[in-house]
């Protein structure tokens, strides 16, 4: 039984603690019965500690990929007291089922599905903003999308790290991270809102894949003395795929130097001269950033290096002879490793 003197939160206070909109809390209460358990006549409804723990259970279940009604059933079914129960959702398995320790009604997570979904924007009812709808997305992608929209950087990074551990770098990028990035970008392009979500998601993804590259930095095969330089074009700001490529190359025993976004052409040339790389990879997300002049102006060194371009910005570009075009992530890893590990 709860202490009647225990502080209780208003709807707005509970929403702030969870990092969601008050309208979302009201929807959870109205549609799914996840709301304050006690209400005195003539007074505003307030959330107790157990009410908040139940909300946290629902929120974490959503981020693991459960549907809202499914997450609500799970949160309602957990036995009291709930003070420590919220942490137990982290025991959710990633193979299509869920098992939560010491609870009465574990929820089920939909089996993972292959193939990048087509992003569609669906406006939520009741003024609650917009949510990402990704037909065909698996549980991991849906959970990542919810964490990104909640601006929960800790959850975003944890979900991506768990996915890498479970299914590997390539599947995490193709089936989890990339669909959510596309959906967030489509939301911004369609509504003019959500650029802050894209920025946070991108920063989190870069951080996770950079760490993954570090963990893979002790491969069985010896690394080449000459590194691979990864750089974005001078006006290109989107660099998440380069971080993914760096992690994949590290797994294959290829040392990289990642030079980040919007690298000026003269700085790129200086880096090439100073590092004598085995290969240079130039990334362009958009045609407007694919500057052929930068490719043509790369310095000549001894020993020579291979030059590759990557990203949709280069589609249809009339590239100089000898410049390789990288396709998928796996193709890029194979071709770069084949060029430098000889």
Using the structure block, give the residue that is written with the tokens 């010896």. 222
CA distance 195 to 249: 30
Domain with CATH 1.10.1660.10 in the chain: 11-91
Phi, psi (5° rounding) for residue 146? -65, -40
Contact predicate 180/143, CB 8 Å: no
Q: Which pLDDT belongs to residue 251? A: 85
Q: Which pLDDT belongs to residue 46? A: 85
CA angle 252, 255, 257 (to 5 degrees): 135
For 145-175, the pLDDT digits (tens) are 988 988 888 889 999 998 888 888 889 999 9
CATH architecture of the region 11-91: Orthogonal Bundle (1.10)
Q: Which pLDDT belongs to residue 160? A: 92
Q: Which pLDDT belongs to residue 87? A: 40
Domain with CATH 3.40.50.280 in the chain: 228-340
pTM score? 0.65
Using the structure block, give the residue that is written with the tokens 């990035």. 181
Phi-psi region of 166 (alpha: psi -120 to 50; beta: other; left: phi over 0): alpha
Contact predicate 66/74, CB 8 Å: yes
CA distance 293 to 3: 71
Domain with CATH 1.10.1240.10 in the chain: 128-215
* Strands ordered across the beta sheet of 228-232: 256-258, 228-232, 279-283, 306-310, 323-326
CA distance 13 to 17: 6
Q: Which pLDDT belongs to residue 293? A: 94
Alpha carbon of 298 to those of 20, 259, 319: distances in Å?
48, 15, 13
Q: Residue 95 class from Cβ within 10 Å (0-12 exposed, 13-18 middle, 19+ buried)?
A: exposed
Q: Which CATH number fits domain 128-215: 1.10.340.30, 1.10.1240.10, 3.40.50.1820, 3.30.2130.10?
A: 1.10.1240.10
Q: Which pLDDT belongs to residue 122? A: 39
Phi, psi (5° rounding) for residue 106? -65, 145
Q: At what angle do helices 22-32 and 49-63 cross, to 10 degrees?
A: 90
3-state secondary structure of 322: coil
Phi, psi (5° rounding) for residue 299? -70, 155
Q: Which pLDDT belongs to residue 106? A: 33
What contacts 24+ positions apart, CB below 8 Å, involve 159-166? 159/63, 160/204, 160/205, 160/208, 161/208, 161/211, 162/94, 163/94, 164/208, 164/212, 166/94, 166/95
- Please list, in sequence order, all residues whose beta carbon lies within 8 angstroms of the beta carbon of residue 158, skipping any fewer than 6 positions away: none
Phi, psi (5° rounding) for residue 131? -120, 160
Query: Torsion angle of alpha carbons 291, 286, 140, 128, nearest 10°?
Result: 140
Contact predicate 281/231, CB 8 Å: yes
Q: Which pLDDT belongs to residue 177? A: 93
Nearest CA-CA partner of 154 in 208, 94, 192? 208
Q: Does domain 228-340 have CATH number 1.10.10.10?
A: no
Q: List the chain residues with pLDDT less than 50.
A: 1-5, 83-130, 217-221
Cβ count near 16 (within 10 Å): 12
């Amino acid at each position: 039984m709860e202490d009647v003197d225990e502080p209780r939160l208003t709807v707005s206070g509970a929403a702030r603690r969870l990092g969601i909109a008050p309208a979302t809390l009201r929807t959870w209460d109205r549609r799914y019965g996840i709301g304050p358990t006690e209400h005195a006549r003539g007074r505003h409804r307030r959330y107790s500690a157990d009410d908040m723990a139940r909300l946290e259970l629902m929120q974490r279940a959503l981020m693991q990929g459960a549907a809202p009604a499914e997450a609500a059933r799970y949160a309602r079914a957990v036995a009291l007291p709930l003070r420590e129960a919220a942490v137990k959702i982290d025991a959710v398995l990633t193979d299509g089922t869920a098992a939560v320790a010491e609870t009465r009604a574990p929820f089920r997570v939909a089996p993972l599905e292959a193939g990048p979904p087509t992003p569609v924007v669906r406006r939520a009812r009741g003024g609650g903003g917009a949510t990402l709808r990704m037909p065909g997305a698996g549980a991991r992608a849906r959970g990542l999308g919810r964490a990104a929209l909640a601006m929960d950087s800790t959850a975003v990074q944890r979900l991506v790290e768990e996915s890498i551990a479970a299914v590997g770098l390539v599947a995490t990028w193709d089936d989890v991270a990339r669909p959510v990035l596309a959906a967030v970008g489509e939301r911004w392009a369609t509504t003019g809102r959500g650029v802050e979500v894209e920025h946070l998601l991108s920063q989190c993804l870069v951080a996770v894949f950079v760490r993954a590259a570090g963990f893979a930095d002790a491969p069985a095969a010896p690394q080449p003395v000459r590194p691979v330089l990864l750089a974005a074009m001078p006006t290109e700001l989107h660099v998440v795929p380069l971080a993914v490529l760096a992690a994949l190359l590290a797994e294959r025993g290829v040392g990289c130097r990642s030079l980040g976004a919007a690298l000026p052409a003269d700085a790129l040339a200086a880096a090439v001269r100073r590092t004598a790389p085995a290969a240079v990879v130039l990334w362009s997300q958009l045609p407007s950033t694919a500057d052929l002049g930068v490719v043509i102006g790369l310095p000549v060194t001894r020993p020579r290096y291979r030059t590759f371009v990557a990203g949709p910005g280069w589609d249809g570009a009339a590239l100089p002879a000898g410049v390789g075009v990288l396709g998928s992530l796996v193709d890029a890893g194979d071709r770069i490793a084949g060029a430098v590990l000889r």
